[in-house]
Amino acid sequence: MTISAWRQRLQSGEVSSRELVDQHLKRIEVSESSLNVYVEVTADRARSEASRIDDARAAGESLGSLAGIPLAIKDNLCTQGVRTTCASRMLERFVPPYEATVTERLWASGGVLMGKTNLDEFAMGGSTETSAFGPTLNPWNTSHVPGGSSGGSAAAVASGSCLASLGSDTGGSIRQPASFCGVVGLKPTYGRVSRWGLVAFASSLDQVGPFATCVADAAELLQVIAGPDPRDSTCLKADVPDYTAALDQPIKGLKVGMIRECFEAEGLDAEVKASVQASAAQLEALGAELVEVSCPRFNDGIATYYVIAPSEASANLARYDGVKYGFRADNAESLAAMTSCSRAEGFGAEVQRRILIGTYALSAGYVDAYYKKAQQVRTLIRRDFDAAFQLVDVLLTPTAPSTAFKTGAHADDPLSMYLADLLTIPVNLAGLPAISVPCGFSQSGLPIGVQLIGNVLEEARLLQVAHQYEQAADVFAARPEADLVP
């Protein structure tokens, strides 16, 4: 059921907020041992907040749009009084003294926190296997990964332990796990949503966005979290439109660009390609015009990203030195030794790898050859998108080159793991909005996602196209619910 449908039941008294929360807590109890979705479950807080909302509703008080709705939050968003670990030993005991802007807005609208979800350590990964608290597993098949880095948030929605969730997307960390888990995942325009309280990975790329079971629910969450924030200097001051207003408008006459380089990408699975092409045909049947476009530097995105993102991570993670907060190694003989040991013991292997790559790229004698050059290519990638949007209204690609891969499949080959983000990374480099919507299943029963990309601040149009496709394709109704982990 959608958030709107649950809201109607709550308002009519057919179900109470407390009953809805207890239902989802029961779901967590049943599935958590199989999936490892949550770093922390906030059961007492959820029950208390649900009861407060029920009392307020009974008293006739005005309530927010998400009043009583069970939500989960990726554990790199600060939640006052609730641990925020980034799935790292470095922050295992960190309890923030303040609330992230996006979560503050969710609670103000009545949303109920069910718990903090697992992720790749410091959001660095594409499988949720690098977490210090163990990997999260895919609800469709527990021998496969849920994607990453927001794998816990995607799996929480897919497994029914919350109605919607928040994740963060630096190079595909919302859209790729949404594709792998068969849910909707939206990455907004860079600056559309505040990053205040999001623990930084790569500050020029990170963006917070929602996971949901349908496009309408994703639009509802975006409506709540979007908008200016004086605490975040990169947050845009643009007005927030009504994202649900245009959902039911037809898309006849809109031009949908098929990016040639994406459908010719090395490693693109045949089943994925066929399913995504079928989704394009569905849009054409709805009256959209399909146009082949070229973004010549699209496939250069991955090399560009793996210079820029580690460089920014190297700078951002320098603050974790074992002095003010976070993990501190014992028995060090000097301050320098303490810092060195704290970082070596507090950070996992993938985080250390990316810090080292970034430090090297920023070092004297190499910054022009690597970091500056990568920023120049980033500009060219953005220009390719600008040119494409002169011809079309939205762009269409596969979300990921394959369906969810098996747990451990890329453990000894980080480069092959990085390639899983081949089709999502350029969007982050250009700062554009994009959404992944389920478009089918492989023969083995694993979900496949189609990615729709919009121009800057055109989330409303993106959501409109995605919703119209979702309603016509009816993929959600056809998906094999019984195959999900009980």
Residue 196 burial class via C-beta count within 10 angstroms: exposed 0-12, middle 13-18, buried 19 and up: buried
* pLDDT, tens only, 131-185: 999 999 999 999 999 999 999 999 999 999 999 999 999 999 999 999 999 999 9
State yes or no: pLDDT of 476 exceeds 90. no
* pLDDT average, residue stretch 94-119: 98
Report the alpha-carbon distance of residue 35 to residue 368 in Å, rounded. Answer: 44
Comparing CA positions, the residue from 163, 178, 125 lying closest to residue 450 is 178
Q: What is the pLDDT of residue 411?
A: 85
Examine residue 412 and state whether it is found in any structural domain, yes or no: no
Examine residue 350 and state whether it is found in any structural domain, yes or no: no
Cα torsion 382, 387, 393, 396: sign: negative
State yes or no: pLDDT of 66 exceeds 60. yes
State yes or no: pLDDT of 483 exceeds 80. no
> Distance of CA 214 to CAs 4, 115, 181, Å?
11, 21, 13
State yes or no: pLDDT of 416 exceeds 90. no
State yes or no: pLDDT of 302 exceeds 80. yes
CA torsion 165-166-172-177 (nearest 10°) is -20
Among residues 168, 173, 342, 436, the one annotated as catalytic is 173
Q: What is the pLDDT of residue 482?
A: 39
Examine residue 24 and state whether it is found in any structural domain, yes or no: yes
State yes or no: pLDDT of 464 exceeds 50. yes
442 φ, ψ (degrees, to nearest 5): -75, 170
Q: Report yes or no: 402 and 267 within 8 Å, Cβ to Cβ.
A: yes
State yes or no: pLDDT of 389 exceeds 70. yes
* pLDDT, tens only, 339-357: 999 999 999 999 999 999 9
Residue 81 burial class via C-beta count within 10 angstroms: exposed 0-12, middle 13-18, buried 19 and up: exposed
- DSSP letter string, 367-384: TIIIIIHHHHHHHHHHHH
Residue 54 burial class via C-beta count within 10 angstroms: exposed 0-12, middle 13-18, buried 19 and up: buried
Comparing CA positions, the residue from 135, 215, 150 lying closest to residue 180 is 150
Examine residue 188 and state whether it is found in any structural domain, yes or no: yes
Report the alpha-carbon distance of residue 272 to residue 224 in Å, rounded. Answer: 33
Report the alpha-carbon distance of residue 28 to residue 114 in Å, rounded. Answer: 9
> What is the CATH number for 222?
3.90.1300.10
| Residue 211: domain span | 3-246+434-483
Examine residue 269 and state whether it is found in any structural domain, yes or no: no
Examine residue 380 and state whether it is found in any structural domain, yes or no: no
Examine residue 273 and state whether it is found in any structural domain, yes or no: no
Q: What percent of the chain has pLDDT over 90?
A: 92
Examine residue 407 and state whether it is found in any structural domain, yes or no: no
Catalytic site includes residue 173: yes
State yes or no: pLDDT of 479 exceeds 80. no
State yes or no: pLDDT of 329 exceeds 80. yes
If one counts the domains in the chain, the total is 1
Q: What is the pLDDT of residue 153?
A: 98
Report the alpha-carbon distance of residue 263 to residue 416 in Å, rounded. Answer: 19
pTM for the predicted model, two decimal places: 0.96
Among residues 16, 17, 31, 74, the one annotated as catalytic is 74
Note the helical H segments in 409-482: 414-418, 425-430, 459-473, 475-478
Q: Report yes or no: 191 and 138 within 8 Å, Cβ to Cβ.
A: no
State yes or no: pLDDT of 485 exceeds 90. no
Residues with Cβ < 8 Å from 177, sequence gap 6 or more?
128, 146, 147, 148, 149, 150, 151, 153, 154, 155, 167, 185, 211
Cα torsion 281, 285, 291, 297: sign: negative
Cα torsion 74, 477, 284, 269: sign: positive
Place of tokens 């146009």: 291
